[in-house]
Copies of this chain bind each other. A is one copy, B any other.
Amino acid sequence: MIRTDIEMEKAAMILKLLGDKTRLTMMKLLENHDCCVCEFVEIFQASQPSISQHLRKLRDVGIVKEERRGQWIFYSINQNSEYFPFVQQVLLQLPEQEDKLKELEAKGTRVTCC
């Protein structure tokens, strides 16, 4: 029998990680677009270290990956993560966050940075 289930301990760990508004919204945004750190800083109106620390947690468990593009580092969802199917199912329940990116574009902040 193929086991697609996630173990309880791991599931709890992932849910705890997603149980933060900033990280959860990050993941929902990453569902459709790669984003760089400065975009998140702008979107969440948070300090850069705070954003970096959230991203590190997501990266440490492997549900996002990073990729340098010149000066910027882009984050994206790691579809190879063992947790990907689980995370994806959770994200599917959430409302789109496209408006947040639209705002960036309106302000011109999106283009400037990335």
| 23 pairs of residues in contact across A and B, judged by CB atoms under 8 Å | A5-B93, A5-B94, A6-B93, A8-B21, A8-B95, A8-B97, A11-B93, A12-B20, A12-B24, A14-B19, A15-B15, A15-B16, A15-B18, A15-B19, A16-B16, A17-B19, A18-B19, A85-B93, A89-B89, A89-B90, A89-B92, A89-B93, A90-B90
Tally chain A residues at the interface, Cβ within 8 Å.
28
Task: Count identical subunits in the complex.
Answer: 2
Q: Is the interface of A mostly helix, strand, loop or mixed?
A: helix
Binary contact readout A9-33 vs B (1 if CB under 8 angstroms, 0 otherwise):
1011111111111001100100000
Q: Which of A12-68 contact B (CB under 8 A)?
A: 12-21, 24-25, 28
Inter-chain contact A20/B28, CB cutoff 8 Å? no
CB nearest neighbor in B for A3: B95
